Structures are given as structure tokens and as C-alpha cells.
Structure 1
Amino acid sequence: MSLIEDLAERYRRHIGIPWQRTVAGAQRVLMLVYDKELERPLRAQKGVFRIKTTEAGYEWREVDLTNAFAEFMAADEYSDAYFEEPETLSLKMSSGEFRDFLAERVRGALLAEGVTDRTVVAVFGVGSIFGLCRLSEVLPLVERDIRGRLAVLFPGQLDQNSYRLLDARDGWNYLAVPLTIRGEDR
């Protein structure tokens, strides 16, 4: 069994357990943690997670953040100026606008028509926000909008309760349910 199949099997076992409806938003988040080197193979096989979800009797939706920064910049009327003077981009990024843009993207998927308390919304492409925004700042903004479950496919590491995106940054603690390919799930 490949590492991705192993993660998908762990996900299936967890998602198949009846969902508690009274848990806090952060506890409705599943962090599917895998080695950063597996990002492309996982994307190629992401359909297996949809299949595992529907086999368990739940619905599946996706939101992809891969192109979010490009779309964010394309929508800015001053984007050309930022590219002419890239050092000014740090001011824009520190304003929280991109964080809010990401939160709205995820929130849009969470609140879309047809999404219910039996829907898993899967977030792909979080590695593409590395260096631009911290996922730890985005997730708390959408927790109250999670009806079913939010599955974040996370290329990085879990060290005890600390998540490290792309293995490169200081970790952050989060109350989500971790599912990993190495059996460190709690």
C-alpha cells in the first residue's frame, strides 16, 4: 500500500465514525498531514478521498487555494505597481487582506448551496500560501462556518500537537483532528 493509500485508509476509518454534532468548529477540522514530497502524487490521487467520503455516506466538496495569490493580485487595481516595486508588497501582505481573501474563499465553499452538516469540504493547495500567509490565521476565521467537516490536506509535519507547513516554519498548535501517514494520529 502506498503512503497516500495509507493516509486515505486512515481518513476512511475516521470519517466513517458517526459525527458528533456538538463539537466546536476547530474540532470539525481534519488535518491530513503528509510529506511535502507527496503533494503532486496526492493531487493526482485526490479522488480516492472523495470516494472514501461518499462510501461512508457523506458528501464531498473541494476548494483549491493553489492559484489564490495570483487571483488576489489580479483583482488589485495596483498590482502592476507592486510588481514594479516588490518591496511594497510586504505592506499589502501585512495588512491581512490576503488572509481575509483566503478565508472568504474557504467560507464560500463551506456556505455554498447544497453544503450540509453531512458534507466534507476539502482544502487543497495550502502549500502555495507558504511565505504569504499563515494557515493558522485563516482557519480560525472560518471555524464558525463549518457545518460538517473541513479536511485540510497539509503538506508538512505534525510534531506532537504542532503543525509545520512544508517542514520549514515554526509550528503552530491547533485543536484539529490530525490524520497522518505515520500513525501519529491522536
Structure 2
Amino acid sequence: MARIEDLAEHYGRHIGTPWQRTVAGAQRVVMVVYDKELERTLRARKLAFETATREAGHDWREIDLAGAFAEWLAADDYRDEYFASPEDLQLKLEAEFPADVAERLRKALCHPEVTDNTVVAVFGTGSLFGLARISQVLRMIEADIRGRLLVFFPGQFERNNYRLLDARDGWNYLAVPITAHSEGGIA
């Protein structure tokens, strides 16, 4: 399982460089891109990323989006009707769910313990596939990023395009990519 350890090492080199404080919110996002088959392995070894962050002198907080859809739907008054007719959910899903995910991230980013020296790590982005576009959610919360937002991204990165779970058309984003082949960079 050296691939996750390699990613953690590349991330550690990147996060250990001095942070530029005047960069835009989109440039404060770090995307750790890994093969979708490694999701469970990554979760089992996430301490390597936290350790690298703390060794670089930064604080660590995390949020897991894996249950976001279930929690969002469970809170809806019409959830039982949506189970009876799931096609009726599509419009509400497109109109409201990305904003709900953004609000979850915003709460984590604006937590009183989060400072401009904190890395907020986001797990469970693969669970958003088919429900919300990560690119859309990130645009909604860019202004709330104080330190760095670390997004664990099961998919691919090539030619400046990210593709979640290797399946959807990618999008170009200003985030710093950390891949198995990257060497890290200035944050």
C-alpha cells in the first residue's frame, strides 16, 4: 500500500513549505488525488496526513461528507414521498443539496478553532458523485477558507482537469494537486 504513503509524503513536502497568505480562496485548496479503489486504504491511513500537517506546524480538523446526502434527505419533511417517487427528488436535489454540502463545509471552515494556520481535511467526496458537483460546492465556500482546505479526491487529475471517480467530465480548478507522481509545491 505504498501509494497512500507516497501521497502522504508528497503532501507533507507541500504542506511543509511556507504558506503564502495573500492567495485567493481557490488557491488555498489542496486536492489529494488517488485511485478510487484506495478509498478504504486512505481512510485507514489518514493519520499519516494529519501527522504530516502537525509536523509542519499546522493545526488539523476534518469533516466527512459520506453521510451528507442521507442526513439531508432524512431532514426533509417529504422524504417518504421521495422514496415512493425518487424521480421527484431531482429538481430539489439540484437546487438545494449542493448548498447544503457547502454549508456543512462552511461550518467546519468557520469553526472557532479554525485559524489561518489550520488545515481542514475533507473526506467522503466520492459519496457526492451523481448528487452534487464538487466544483460547484468549492466555488460556494472559497471565501471561507482561512488556512488550507485539503480535499481527498478519488479520481483522476490530468492536464489540469479533475475527474471524480474517473467517470464524469472533469473541471479545471486552481487547487494544488497532490498525486502519486507530484513533488508538492508552494502552498
TM-score higher than 0.5: yes
Q: Distance in 1 between matches of 2:79 and 2:30?
A: 35
Residues 39-54 of structure 1 aligned to structure 2 (within 5 Å): 39-54=39-54
Q: Distance in 1 between matches of 2:10 and 2:181?
A: 10
Contact in 1 for aligned 2:121/2:152 (Cα 8 Å): yes
Q: Distance in 2 between matches of 1:159 and 1:52?
A: 25
Q: Which residue of 2 aligns with 1:58?
A: 58
SS across alignment from 1:26: helix
TM-score normalised according to structure 2 size = 0.96
Residues 64-75 of structure 1 aligned to structure 2 (within 5 Å): 64-75=64-75
TM-score normalised according to structure 1 size = 0.97
SS across alignment from 1:107: helix
Give yes or no for the alignment of 1:109 onto 2:101: no
Residues 79-94 of structure 1 aligned to structure 2 (within 5 Å): 79-94=79-94
Residues 130-145 of structure 1 aligned to structure 2 (within 5 Å): 130-145=129-144
* Paired amino acid for 2:141: V
Q: Which residue of 2 aligns with 1:100?
A: 99
Q: Distance in 1 between matches of 2:180 and 2:81?
A: 43
Structure 1 stretches of 4+ with a deviation exceeding 2 A read 182-186
**Post-superposition shift, 1:94?**
2.1
Q: Distance in 2 between matches of 1:65 and 1:105?
A: 8
SS across alignment from 2:9: helix
Q: Distance in 2 between matches of 1:63 and 1:75?
A: 19
**Post-superposition shift, 1:42?**
0.3
Q: Distance in 2 between matches of 1:185 and 1:112?
A: 28
Q: Which residue of 2 aligns with 1:172?
A: 171
Q: 1:185 to 1:47 in 2, by over 3 A?
A: closer
* Paired amino acid for 1:27: Q
Q: Which residue of 2 aligns with 1:21?
A: 21
**Post-superposition shift, 1:184?**
7.8
Q: Distance in 2 between matches of 1:87 and 1:42?
A: 34
Give yes or no for the alignment of 1:128 onto 2:127: yes
* Paired amino acid for 1:5: E
SS across alignment from 2:131: coil
Q: Distance in 1 between matches of 2:110 and 2:94?
A: 27
Q: CA RMSD for the aligned pairs?
A: 1.2
* Paired amino acid for 1:153: F
Q: Distance in 2 between matches of 1:11 and 1:176?
A: 13
Q: Which has the higher contact order (CA 8 A, sep 6+)?
A: 2
**Post-superposition shift, 1:21?**
0.4
Q: 1:88 to 1:184 in 2, by over 3 A?
A: farther
Structure 1 gap segments, 5+ residues each: none
Q: Give me the identity figure in percent.
A: 65
* Paired amino acid for 1:44: A
Contact in 1 for aligned 2:93/2:131 (Cα 8 Å): yes
